[in-house]
A and B are shown apart, each in its own frame.
Chain A
Amino acid sequence: MTLQNKGSWHTFALSNGLRVAVEAGPDKGLLSIQMRYRVGSRDEAPNEWGFAHLVEHLLCRHPQRLSGADYHDLIRDAYGTSNATTGADFTKYYTTVPVSALGLVLRLEAQRMADLVPGPIQAECDVIASERQWMESQDPCGLWEDELHALAYPSDNGYHHSILGAVEHLTAVTPERIKDFHQRHYAPNNALLAIAGGADVSAVASLVEHCLGVLPARPVAARIRLQPASEGQHVRRNGNVSMPRVFLAYPAPPLGTPEYRYLDLLGDVLVTGRTSRLAQALRTGAPMADYWFRLLPGTAASLVVIWATVPSDVDPATTREWLGEFLVCLHPPTPAEIQRIRAVNRLRRAQLFELSSERADRVAEALDLGLEPAQALLVDEPFDPEAMARAAELFRPEHQVCLEYVNPEAE
């Protein structure tokens, strides 16, 4: 393996294909480690919805072969914290531990990669079912992301279905099928490892090679090519909402592209601070009570979402039409707006990157997207006003997907 210096980050690849990035620096007592697999809900076959998320649960919460205890317990015993997340494009396992526990974490990650002991599958499916129920109970719009994805992408697109899966698919899961899913996707040549916090790179590289280098590469299921997003749609849902909510979504560039980054900055122009466009609109009588902006990232395609809550004396259709028109007529950011959002982003990034866990996450994502670690951790990013202007042109009505939550009892 050849070490390449990326600022304070060193990257290398093991002979089995595992790509690794290690942050050099003085020992500060803690390390954050993220193992990221290029498998998510988009990689599930049509009868496997929810398998990626279920594998994540099983690998975290049930005793695995070599350890005899579940992963979370072992990390807690080592005075660390751990968690995991499944997305449409990835599954990531992140851990923060004292430096002395790095070897333990790497051995456990090797075990997770090598094999899956299914454990009580149905009990874990019950936990996932209660997760969905809890999300719905906390907020009548709690599953809005799933709903928008289902509207924006056709049913044969990997982004269409929920990460939580389908009840009928999870009910039919067997130990053999879930192990097979694991074997098809959990391979060193389908994974990335980032270690942040400051370390002796040579020592860490040797430890990584020792723990993970012994695992052989495996054939990995090819990533399913995704169909384009659907044309515009409008759906209304009844729910126990106190105030109606209107979500407008539009197709957006993939995560990691320059266009995605400028769309993210445009969000600050729209919603951050008193001088944001929507704050000013609200002060001058826009038909909404509150608003927000979110990007739903995807490595193949993203969605940009703007939503508004509707005052009780306003028809949701009025809010929907006003917001759609507002977005179509967006003019590019002014120099003053650009100065403001760049300052906001500098501060935001400076705060985020204090955390070793955040640095590990950004670098793992960068490796996944084929970007340089140093690029992912820039506090003051370069700026192109023309690219910024192009971002404001994305909100075409013919591509709009609209989801409304209304309360028929209130109406």
Chain B
Amino acid sequence: MLPLNIVHRPLPSGVDLWLVPVANCPFVAVELGLPLGVSSEPVPGLAAILSRILEQPPTGSQAEKAILRLEQVGVNLLSEVTWPYCCWTLQVQSDHLFNVLTGLGQLLRPPAVSASTCRHLTAKQAGLSQEAQRDDSILTALALARITGRPSLAGTTLALGSANQREGVTPASLQAYATAGATANGALLVLAGGLDPVRAADICRAAFASWPQHTPLCPRPLRVLDAEAVWCRTDGRTARVALALDLASLTTQPERWAGILTHLLEDLLVRELRTRRSLAYYVQSHAAGSMLIAQASVAPESVEQVLKELEHAVSLLNEASPAEISKAARLAMARDIMAMESTVEIAGRLFNEVAAAGGMAQPGWRHHWDWLQAVMSSAAPLQVPDLSAGTCRQVLVSPTPAGQIQGWDPITPDDLL
């Protein structure tokens, strides 16, 4: 399977447009990001509330009519708020692309909102925050983001905001925020599927031609926790343990190595923690940029043991043989090939990659594949780079541990939100 043909066509309006034609695909997957993410919200939770308002505009409004037209052609519009963006995801039959993109342009306008709607949505958001405080996986993702300074590790959970910080959500603040963020420059648009890049670029140019163009809101930095280890104390019955190894300091290809090592790490963890010792039901490892993440869902009394096993597994990576590395590279490549069966997956991956690079970098898939091929076929003995140069951090989300874990001062779930 050949790498994809990725076309970059920034629009005169400032929209950063990326296109991926996929042969024989009857639909187009669309990912649109507006600079209305958590990083630019003046009040915690505002971005999530605004996305809800944009998703469900007032009855009888032009925006509502736009949504109804979209739904009549089968479009199910979904939004989510991440650190940099409010992201809109949809799939549309290729024939309907122009009408749908034009409809999107009409939809995403600053709304008029009543004070009662504001209060209602604020209360609902506070409820979601409270519910999130019971969810181990959400708390772990937040803790990993705050301890590493990488907001992408938190996904959409940073949009929850603290249950206690809702002052300032008013119709005026919502309007002002929406006006400032609904701008063509600062928007990221990815289309993948049955499309002709030239024609699709023309459609996008026309659909977003009348959008305002002004300087997007200035993003603020992520609030980080200055610690190597974080324990978030909960009332639950299970614990979640996570370890994050940042390979950014490696001199060669840290992101590529993270992508390969995650497969080796997951193998080690599943074998040891789940199959051999039944210490964990859920075990997972993944790479996020140059970061290698491993986590497990365990009983609170096993926390200390599992933390040690995670550290041990990471140390074993240094001893991986060239054959194991080559095999892991093949597995990474096979996974990429499998993922690219899905046009929706292609659009999502491309969007995330461009967003993570601040919209500046060329997508690295072709180079990534070239590098994997080189690793797989290298005649020279391969050595895992010295991982001791990486920075390791730990996260524990747990009720009071049964064991004595020294030096772990607990924080509350609200501290993470």
Asked whether any CB of chain B lies closer than 8 Å to the CB of A123, the reply is: yes
> A274 contacts B334, CB within 8 Å?
no
A-contact 0/1 string along B266-301, CB 8 Å cutoff = 010000001100101110000000000000010100
Judging by beta carbons under 8 Å apart, are B281 and A242 in contact? no
Asked if A79 meets B330 with Cβ closer than 8 Å, knowing A127-B278, A351-B91, the reply is yes
Cβ of B341 within 8 Å of any chain A Cβ, yes or no, is yes
Q: B134 contacts which chain A residues (CB < 8 A)?
A: 240, 242
A345 to B341, CA, bound (A): 20
The answer to whether B281 touches A344 (Cβ under 8 A) is no
* Contact across chains for B72 and A336 when beta carbons are under 8 A apart: yes
Verify B56–A274 contact, CB threshold 8 A: yes
A4 at the interface (CB under 8 A from B): no
Query: Which residues of chain B have C-beta atoms less than 8 A from A81's C-beta?
Result: 334-335, 338
* Of listed A29, A80, A130, A356, residue having the most chain B CB within 10 A: A130
- Would you call B12 an interface residue if the criterion is a C-beta within 8 Å of the partner chain's C-beta atoms? no
A126 touches B278 (CB 8 A): yes
Tell me the complex Cα distance, A30–B26, Å. Answer: 21
Q: Tell me which of A133-141, A318-326, A366-374, A398-406 binds B.
A: A133-141
Does B68 make an interface contact (CB < 8 A)? yes
Question: Are B74 and A79 interface neighbours, CB within 8 A?
Answer: no
Interface size on A, residues (CB 8 A): 47
Mark B60-98 against chain A: 1 for CB-CB distance below 8 A, else 0.
000010011001111110000000000000011100000
Contact of B281 among A127, A274, A351 (CB under 8 A): A127
Chain B residues near A295: list those with CB within 8 A: none
Complex CA gap A243/B343 in Å reads 37
Least Cβ–Cβ distance between A288 and chain B, in angstroms: 13
User: In whole Å, how far is A363's beta carbon from the nearest beta carbon of chain B?
Assistant: 16
Closest to B136 in A: A138
Cβ–Cβ contact A346 & B136, under 8 A: no
Please, how many angstroms separate the alpha-carbon atoms of A355 and B343 in the complex? 10
Kindly report which residue of chain B lies nearest to residue A98, judged by CB atoms.
B334
Interface size class, chain B = 35 or more
| Contact between chains at B344 and A351 (CB < 8 Å) | yes
A346 touches B278 (CB 8 A): no
Residue of A nearest to B280 (CB): A130
| Cβ distance B143 to chain A, nearest Cβ, rounded Å | 17
Contact with B along A344-357 (1 / 0, CB 8 A): 11110011001110
* Proximity bits, B321-346, A CB within 8 Å = 1, else 0: 00000010011011101100111100
Interface residue B59 (Cβ < 8 Å from any Cβ of A): yes
**With A274-B71, A275-B71 given, is the CB distance from A350 to B27 under 8 Å?**
yes
- B415 interfacial contact with A, CB 8 Å: no
**Which among A28, A30, A354 has the highest number of chain B CB atoms within 10 Å?**
A354
Task: Report whether over half of chain A's contact residues are helix, strand or loop; otherwise say mixed.
Answer: helix
Q: A77-B327, A137-B238 are in contact. Are A356 and B341 (CB under 8 A)?
A: yes
Collect the chain A residues with CB atoms within 8 Å of residue B137's CB.
138
Return chain A residues, CB-CB under 8 Å to B75: 347
B25 adjacent to chain A (CB < 8 Å): yes
The residue that A79 contacts in the complex, of B71, B93, B331, with Cβ under 8 A, is: B331
Give min CB distance, A381 to chain B, whole Å: 14
Q: A225: shortest Cβ distance to chain B, in Å?
A: 35
* Given A30-B337, A30-B338, A347-B74: A137 and B330 interface contact (C-beta under 8 Å): no
Q: Are A28 and B1 in contact (CB under 8 A)?
A: yes
Query: Measuring CB to CB, which residues of chain B are less than 8 angstroms from any residue of chain A?
Result: 1, 25-27, 55-56, 59, 64, 67-68, 71-76, 91-93, 124, 127, 130-131, 134-137, 236-238, 267, 274-275, 278, 280-282, 297, 299, 327, 330-331, 333-335, 337-338, 341-344
Can you report 21 A-B residue pairs in the complex whose CB atoms are below 8 A from each other?
A61-B275, A70-B275, A76-B331, A123-B278, A127-B281, A130-B278, A133-B237, A134-B281, A137-B238, A138-B135, A138-B136, A243-B127, A273-B76, A274-B64, A274-B68, A343-B93, A347-B92, A351-B344, A354-B341, A354-B343, A379-B26
Residue positions of A touching B, CB distance < 8 A: 28-30, 61, 70, 76-77, 79-81, 96, 98, 123, 126-127, 130-131, 133-134, 136-138, 240, 242-243, 272-275, 283, 289, 312, 336, 339-340, 342-347, 350-351, 354-356, 379
Additional 15 contacts, C-beta under 8 A, given A274-B64, A344-B76: A28-B1, A30-B338, A81-B338, A96-B338, A127-B274, A133-B238, A133-B281, A137-B136, A137-B236, A138-B238, A272-B76, A340-B72, A347-B27, A347-B93, A351-B91
